Structure 1
């Protein structure tokens, strides 16, 4: 989601730190993933790096981009990224949609099993949706993509027979099939008791079930792999699920690769060292290391794939929340809140950021300026040429907007508000990724040119998440993972009641009550547009709806978009059957991959 490091510090100390990390890598043999391939276990395996460990093993409670769920779960359907994300069967062998588009019936494959060998049945599908995802007592972001229409009602789910399950919605809902089909199915036999029993506070014990303190071998899934072990801040090891449903044309079980090791390496320099020394099988490349590894491509026996502009949205955001906590204390200093909630202030900040310089210096020219929350490859993307408002670097325009909104400058060129308060706030950024901190450092410099002081706070990813969840922040440089080509996938961000509506987070189930939360008129209009867009089957009209949404976001700027870096992935040549896709990356067809030792 978000990542960082300090530009000036890196330029002075990079090579000393790299040398030190090499020495440490040699000394700390217990962290070397090659140790897993012992004489007793010469099995095909892949080793990847993650900048952060999992937040939880409970998918409903996860809010991190770094998780284990893609390895251990399947849904009813899957997406084929070689065919533009076409929906294909997964746990379900087929599906039927009614003429009125309000019902869909899935038929499960025969003989499905969980990773512990227990049968996977329609009852598990019913449990997953009725008892977990749609349970009003279980808070989860997943609810946001399942709400339907003006009523914000949820679908109903019904067992038809031992292999068929029916979902019904109160009105036609365009994203329904993709959303329902893609969500992981959970094991009723392992989790039902935790849903039905409560803790001392009356909450289902399920909410705290399967935390990262749970023995990984107790986590039951239905995906390619099952967890074998987890060492906090070190690694997650996955073993092939012997009961996985996929088989190739000759009847051989898939996936072919026996084991996956996910090394937790927060520092990007250390990730680079591990890849160059042959300890990692793949590495996501930042633009600054691309030239180095490109020269080593043939000698190092790897290939660098270019996926074009990344689907991740990078931005600066201000906390627009005017509410107070249960102790009647404002989440945001009221003085700062007045600045942040002034549209002209946000627009001035957007004009003050030199994104072209950011692209050239931080991303080495390997990126594109971003202006929309919708991925440019989506058919719903509105380009600047089609009328989308953009904020090219213009500090004079920024100053004019500020003066017109009642701000003023003192004799030192410092920006003051109408009451004479110095405009100064704290800007958060995640400490694990160098490029993200470099962006924040430049933003701090750019804002100083229009008299604004942004105090940079570089902190660990989990601390950033905690501050966002507690609504206790001023400004942050952040990012959201790509939601694909369907705009409704971002509803948990853009809906005023969404659990990722971070710029103005409303009341949350299970949290202490908040007071005085306000939803702006433009937020309400976005709510309306997302509902209208989810109901419109005419593609021309649907594009017009989401074009209006993009125009509102660029006018109001709850997120000030920055730069989409080009997506580069280095992959060892020993990995066979790759079908690289810009949307799905190099490993979306993991079940087909083989290792040529």
Structure 2
């Protein structure tokens, strides 16, 4: 929902993962694919790149990108990124009861894990009952499986070695999409779920970290992990037990080896692509003209999938709570951030068209919705979605209405005379975001607001966002998709990615005095209502209302939706590019033809 893009478009539909990318400092020579490409010249391979090391090899515990899971795991179903249809994956078929509550999936015959062990419904039941539905395992996957006001979870039962039954407590429209979560190996992980550490937590929580020997990571996807060299590269090898076959019965995938050198920046990956060391590269707007003129000479093609499915936005920390008696956010600034006119004024003051023209070189459109433009549930501005076109006069009027005023230096101050100034963070190493942040700093100065823009190292940034909650404003992004409920963990006030008003995560100190605003609670209720509604017309109206509320209250201030662009060498056959899936979503059927 590929790996060449800064904003990762996962091959599968793993929407809820946060899209945060950073750079790890290393020398170009250490990660240059040319240093090891010759040793495997006789092996068909594809060389991509990532900007930073994976954080875990344990899928349920992962919240970040880059990650390995799009290559290594599959679920019962998958969503075709070209047609949008739900297709069989590990399950060859399914049956649905008349009341739409009971689903029986039949697994493909002869499925195996990468170690040769049989993959059966025991693995499916283990994956859901022991991991995703297990409250002792802190995973965001559980958020998208919760159903109704009660947030109940489905019941999962084995029928026989190939058939498994899911029973939902009430109708759940996105169930076939949601059930595409990766299936995990019971024979490798079951013991760690049942064994407790000294704190009484499952030892599963420390399983399959990035220091785990690759041959211990058991997978069911087209590739298995072969090698990981910290800050240098990740290498995958074809899974010999992968289930897919080609039209003549030949085993897939066709490409034997996938290599991800870990590069220091997008500039480095561009340099390596132009030198021929990389086979694919996400094309940022600043480099589009350069690469477009080199397509023939470089023997590659730039694919254009139209507007990207992801979003980039800024958000304010709206959490009013305290930890250890100390407010998470300075009370004065918190009062600004929780004033809707303040957020609306900021939205009006950001010149997104200049952002498109300068930072995106014209290769983008304004982003106004929480739902991807490709989704049938997207509400367009023409259909009544509120937009915030650049208007500094309107911004100032809103601020004055909210009780702010200007001093003799034309600086914005609040009713108590406090200068309006806040910090804006994003992840370092992402040139597009750094350019956007610099423009926002300049734009908001025009309405008297001082922004202290600071790109942070990855670990520092993520600690602030999800652990200490010690941040004022932030810029980041999320992937998108066709099914709105994939974002339930963002919009539910109790969701793991409800980042603008985050509840305490597992193992964190409690927060006293956290408040959920009425509009915030209403969005959460609408997502529940939309998930249970089976009538498509009614579902569209429910999700249209969520978009109206988000644009009125602006928990996220959306910025620009760039075009989805990737360059791929012409020596690869079978590329079916889309904004939703990227260049490599069908990696199993892509061939090397030279």
Task: Please indicate the TM-score interval, normalised by the length of the shorter structure.
Answer: over 0.9
Answer yes or no: is 1:162 the counterpart of 2:161: yes
Answer yes or no: is 1:234 the counterpart of 2:232: yes
Distance in 1, Cα, partners of 2:75 & 2:39: 36
1:324 is aligned, of 319, 322, 326, to 322
Aligned to 2:437: 440
Residue by residue, what CA displacement relative to the aligned partner does 1:526-571 show, whole Å, maximum 9, x if unpaired? 1111111111111111111111110000000000010001111000
Q: Does the C-alpha gap of structure 1 residues 430 and 40 become closer, same or farther in structure 2, counting only changes over 3 Å? A: closer
Aligned to 1:352: 349
Instruction: Write the mapping of 1:481-560 to structure 2, written as runs, cut at 5 A.
Output: 481-482=479-480, 484-560=481-557
SS of 1:185's equivalent? coil
Distance in 1, Cα, partners of 2:500 & 2:39: 53
Answer yes or no: is 1:141 the counterpart of 2:145: no
Distance in 2, Cα, partners of 1:4 & 1:201: 32
Residue by residue, what CA displacement relative to the aligned partner does 1:61-100 show, whole Å, maximum 9, x if unpaired? 1111210001110111122233x12222211111111110
Q: 1:276 Cα deviation (Å)?
A: 0.2
Conserved? CA contact 1:3–1:437, under 8 Å: no
Aligned to 1:54: 54
1:574 is aligned, of 571, 574, 578, to 571
Instruction: Write the mapping of 1:187-226 to structure 2, written as runs, cut at 5 A.
Output: 187-226=185-224
Distance in 2, Cα, partners of 1:166 & 1:311: 33
Residue by residue, what CA displacement relative to the aligned partner does 1:90-135 show, whole Å, maximum 9, x if unpaired? 1111111111000100111111111111111111111100000110
SS of 2:322's equivalent? coil
Q: 1:205 Cα deviation (Å)?
A: 0.9
SS of 1:49's equivalent? coil
Conserved? CA contact 1:48–1:280, under 8 Å: yes
Provide the alpha-carbon RMSD of the alignment.
1.4
Higher mean C-alpha displacement, 568-577 vs 503-512? 503-512
Aligned to 1:295: 293
Residue by residue, what CA displacement relative to the aligned partner does 1:339-383 show, whole Å, maximum 9, x if unpaired? 000000000100110011101011011100011111112111111
Distance in 1, Cα, partners of 2:426 & 2:443: 16
Give unmatched runs, 5+ long, in structure 1. Answer: 6-20
Residue by residue, what CA displacement relative to the aligned partner does 1:195-238 show, whole Å, maximum 9, x if unpaired? 11111211111112111121122111000111111111211000
Residue by residue, what CA displacement relative to the aligned partner does 1:152-189 show, whole Å, maximum 9, x if unpaired? 10001000111100001000000011101x10000111
Aligned to 2:70: 70
Conserved? CA contact 1:122–1:165, under 8 Å: yes
Distance in 1, Cα, partners of 2:231 & 2:22: 18
Aligned to 1:410: 407
Aligned to 2:102: 103
Q: 1:2 Cα deviation (Å)?
A: 4.1
SS of 1:351's equivalent? helix
Normalising by structure 2, report the TM-score: 0.94
SS of 2:398's equivalent? helix
Answer yes or no: is 1:340 the counterpart of 2:353: no
Conserved? CA contact 2:21–2:52, under 8 Å: no
2:182 is aligned, of 180, 184, 191, to 184
Higher mean C-alpha displacement, 580-589 vs 406-415? 580-589
Aligned to 2:44: 44
Distance in 2, Cα, partners of 1:481 & 1:78: 17
Q: Does the C-alpha gap of structure 1 residues 102 and 215 become closer, same or farther in structure 2, counting only changes over 3 Å? A: same
Q: 1:265 Cα deviation (Å)?
A: 1.4
Conserved? CA contact 1:4–1:458, under 8 Å: no
Conserved? CA contact 1:3–1:434, under 8 Å: no
Q: Does the C-alpha gap of structure 1 residues 396 and 247 become closer, same or farther in structure 2, counting only changes over 3 Å? A: same
Distance in 2, Cα, partners of 1:170 & 1:3: 38
Distance in 1, Cα, partners of 2:21 & 2:64: 12
Answer yes or no: is 1:269 the counterpart of 2:267: yes
SS of 1:36's equivalent? helix
Distance in 2, Cα, partners of 1:281 & 1:462: 29
Q: 1:40 Cα deviation (Å)?
A: 6.7
Give unmatched runs, 5+ long, in structure 2. Answer: 1-18
Conserved? CA contact 1:228–1:239, under 8 Å: yes
Conserved? CA contact 1:139–1:510, under 8 Å: no
**Alignment size in residue pairs:** 573
Q: 1:251 Cα deviation (Å)?
A: 1.4
SS of 2:297's equivalent? coil
Aligned to 2:4: none
Higher mean C-alpha displacement, 290-299 vs 461-470? 461-470
Aligned to 1:254: 252
Q: Does the C-alpha gap of structure 1 residues 319 and 595 become closer, same or farther in structure 2, counting only changes over 3 Å? A: same
SS of 2:582's equivalent? coil
Q: 1:264 Cα deviation (Å)?
A: 1.2
Distance in 2, Cα, partners of 1:271 & 1:537: 45
